[in-house]
Structure 1
Amino acid sequence: MKLVTQLFFSLTLIVGISACSDSTEPKSVQDSANETASQKPSNSIDSQHLSDIVKVLASEEFEGRAPGGPGEAKTVAYLIKQFQSLGLEPGGTDGGWTQSVPLVHTQLDSSGSLNIKVANTDQTWRQGSDVAISTARAVDKASIKDAPLVFVGYGVNAPERNWDDFADIDLTGKVAVFLVNDPDFSAAPNEAVAGRFGNKRMTYYGRWTYKYEEAARRGALAALVIHEDKAAGYGWNVASSSAGEQFTLAETNGPLPPLLQGWLHYDAATALFNAVGLDLDEQRKLARSDDFSAFELPEARLSADFTVSMDNINSQNVLARLPGTTQQDETLMVSAHWDAYGQGEPDELGRTVRPGANDDALGTAGVIELARVLKAGPPMARSVVFAVWTAEESGLLGSAAYASNPIYPLYYTVANFTLDILQTAGPARDVILVGEGQSDLEDDLARAAALQSRVVTPENLPENGLFFRADHFSLARQGVPVLLIMGIAGGADLIDGGRAAGDQWIADYTGNCYHQTCDAWSDDWDLRGAVEDIELFHSIIRDLGDSNRWPQWKESSEFRKIRMETENMRMRSQ
Structure 2
Amino acid sequence: MKKILGLMFVAAVVLTYFVYDKVPPHKVAVNIDEARLTENIKILASDEFEGRAPGSAGEEKTITFLKAEFEKLGLKPGNGDSYFQGVNMVEMTANPDAMMHIETPAGKTGLAYGPEFMGWTPRVMEAVSVTDSEMIFVGYGIVAPEYDWNDYAGVDVKGKTVVVMVNDPGYATQDAKLFTGNAMTYYGRWTYKYEEAARQGAAAVIIIHETKPASYPWAVVEGSWSGPKFSLESPDGNMSSAKVEAWVPGAEIAKVFAAAEYDYAKETAKAATRAFKPFSLKAKMSVAMENKIRRVVSQNVVAILPGDTRPDEYVIHMSHWDHLGKDTSLEGDQIYNGAADNASGTAGLIELANAYLSGAHKPGRSIMFMAVTAEEQGLLGSSYYGKNPIVPLNKTVAALNMDVLSSLGKTHDVTVIGYGNSELDDYVDSLVRKQKRVAMPDPTPEHGSFYRSDHFSLSKEGVPALYVGGGLNHIEKGREWSLAQMEEYSANRYHKPADEYDESWDLSGAVQDLELVYKIGLQLSHEDTFPNWREGNEFKAKRDAMMVPAALK
Q: Secondary structure at the match of 2:183?
A: coil
Distance 2:474 2:488 in 1: 15
CA deviations on 1:162-205 (whole Å, 9 max, x unpaired) are 1111113222211111111111212165xxxx522111011111
In structure 2, do the counterparts of structure 1 residues 442 and 249 end up closer, same or farther at CA, with 3 Å as the change threshold? same
| Residue in 2 that maps onto 1:38 | none
Letter in 2 for 1:239: V
Question: For structure 1, which segment, 111-120 or 564-573, has the greater mean C-alpha deviation from structure 2 after superposition?
Answer: 564-573
Which residues in structure 2 correspond to 1:74-473 (within 5 Å)? Answer: 74-92=61-79, 94-119=80-105, 121-187=107-173, 195-244=177-226, 245-251=228-234, 256-298=240-282, 300-344=283-327, 350-377=332-359, 378-473=361-456
CA deviations on 1:416-471 (whole Å, 9 max, x unpaired) are 00000112010000001211220011111111111100001111101000000000
Letter in 1 for 2:216: Y
The offset of 1:306, in angstroms, is 2.4
* Contact map agreement 2:121 2:289 (CA 8 A) in 1: no
| Residue in 2 that maps onto 1:51 | 38
* Contact map agreement 2:166 2:207 (CA 8 A) in 1: yes
Question: For structure 1, which segment, 369-378 or 236-245, has the greater mean C-alpha deviation from structure 2 after superposition?
Answer: 236-245
| Residue in 2 that maps onto 1:69 | 56
Q: Secondary structure at the match of 1:446?
A: helix
CA deviations on 1:366-396 (whole Å, 9 max, x unpaired) are 1111011112222222001000000000000
Gaps in structure 2 of 5+ consecutive residues: 1-28
The offset of 1:275, in angstroms, is 1.3
* Contact map agreement 1:426 1:496 (CA 8 A) in 2: no
Distance 1:305 1:113 in 2: 7
**What stretches of structure 1 move > 3 A for 4+ residues in a row?**
252-255, 345-348, 569-573
In structure 2, do the counterparts of structure 1 residues 510 and 323 end up closer, same or farther at CA, with 3 Å as the change threshold? same
Letter in 2 for 1:86: L
* Contact map agreement 1:391 1:398 (CA 8 A) in 2: yes
Distance 1:362 1:474 in 2: 20
Distance 2:355 2:206 in 1: 46
Letter in 2 for 1:114: M
* Contact map agreement 1:347 1:517 (CA 8 A) in 2: no
Distance 1:415 1:569 in 2: 19
Distance 1:386 1:104 in 2: 26
* Contact map agreement 1:399 1:471 (CA 8 A) in 2: yes
Letter in 2 for 1:215: A
Letter in 2 for 1:375: L
The offset of 1:345, in angstroms, is 5.4
Letter in 2 for 1:539: K
In structure 2, do the counterparts of structure 1 residues 571 and 293 end up closer, same or farther at CA, with 3 Å as the change threshold? farther
Distance 2:156 2:387 in 1: 31
Distance 1:255 1:287 in 2: 30
| Residue in 2 that maps onto 1:505 | 485
Question: For structure 1, which segment, 335-344 or 133-142, has the greater mean C-alpha deviation from structure 2 after superposition?
Answer: 133-142
Distance 2:551 2:250 in 1: 52
Distance 1:337 1:569 in 2: 33
Q: Secondary structure at the match of 2:366?
A: strand
Question: For structure 1, which segment, 355-364 or 128-137, has the greater mean C-alpha deviation from structure 2 after superposition?
Answer: 128-137
Distance 2:395 2:368 in 1: 12
| Residue in 2 that maps onto 1:568 | 548
CA deviations on 1:17-42 (whole Å, 9 max, x unpaired) are xxxxxxxxxxxxxxxxxxxxxxxxx9
Distance 2:539 2:67 in 1: 33
Distance 2:365 2:409 in 1: 33
* Contact map agreement 2:90 2:231 (CA 8 A) in 1: yes
Matched, 1:541 2:521: yes
The offset of 1:229, in angstroms, is 1.1
Distance 1:339 1:301 in 2: 38
Q: Secondary structure at the match of 2:172?
A: coil
* Contact map agreement 2:123 2:239 (CA 8 A) in 1: no
Letter in 1 for 2:37: L
Q: Secondary structure at the match of 1:448?
A: helix
* Contact map agreement 2:321 2:371 (CA 8 A) in 1: yes
Distance 2:429 2:374 in 1: 31
| Residue in 1 that maps onto 2:14 | none
The offset of 1:43, in angstroms, is 4.1
* Contact map agreement 2:336 2:497 (CA 8 A) in 1: yes
Distance 2:219 2:323 in 1: 16
In structure 2, do the counterparts of structure 1 residues 188 and 423 end up closer, same or farther at CA, with 3 Å as the change threshold? closer
Give me the TM-score of the superposition, normalised by structure 2. Answer: 0.92
Q: Secondary structure at the match of 1:534?
A: helix
| Residue in 2 that maps onto 1:477 | 460
Matched, 1:525 2:524: no
The offset of 1:214, in angstroms, is 0.4
* Contact map agreement 2:174 2:182 (CA 8 A) in 1: no
Question: For structure 1, which segment, 301-310 or 391-400, has the greater mean C-alpha deviation from structure 2 after superposition?
Answer: 301-310
In structure 2, do the counterparts of structure 1 residues 444 and 134 end up closer, same or farther at CA, with 3 Å as the change threshold? same
CA deviations on 1:331-367 (whole Å, 9 max, x unpaired) are 100000000010125667x110001111001000111
Distance 1:496 1:46 in 2: 23
Sequence identity of aligned pairs in percent? 39
Distance 1:533 1:242 in 2: 28
CA deviations on 1:36-65 (whole Å, 9 max, x unpaired) are xxxxxx942111111111111111111000
Distance 1:71 1:448 in 2: 38
CA deviations on 1:52-79 (whole Å, 9 max, x unpaired) are 1111111111100000112111111000
The offset of 1:262, in angstroms, is 2.6
* Contact map agreement 2:140 2:271 (CA 8 A) in 1: yes
CA deviations on 1:493-536 (whole Å, 9 max, x unpaired) are 00120102211220221111111111111222100001111111
The offset of 1:243, in angstroms, is 3.1
The offset of 1:485, in angstroms, is 2.1
Distance 1:343 1:536 in 2: 34
| Residue in 2 that maps onto 1:12 | none
The offset of 1:252, in angstroms, is 6.4
Distance 1:465 1:351 in 2: 30
The offset of 1:307, in angstroms, is 1.7
Distance 2:235 2:196 in 1: 16
CA deviations on 1:459-489 (whole Å, 9 max, x unpaired) are 11010000000000000000000100234xx
| Residue in 2 that maps onto 1:5 | none
Question: For structure 1, which segment, 405-414 or 279-288, has the greater mean C-alpha deviation from structure 2 after superposition?
Answer: 279-288
Distance 1:567 1:83 in 2: 31
* Contact map agreement 1:363 1:421 (CA 8 A) in 2: yes
RMSD value, Cα: 1.7
Q: Secondary structure at the match of 1:432?
A: strand
The offset of 1:312, in angstroms, is 0.6
Distance 1:476 1:361 in 2: 23
| Aligned partner (choices 525, 544, 557) of residue 537 of structure 2 | 557
In structure 2, do the counterparts of structure 1 residues 461 and 43 end up closer, same or farther at CA, with 3 Å as the change threshold? closer
Distance 1:136 1:393 in 2: 15
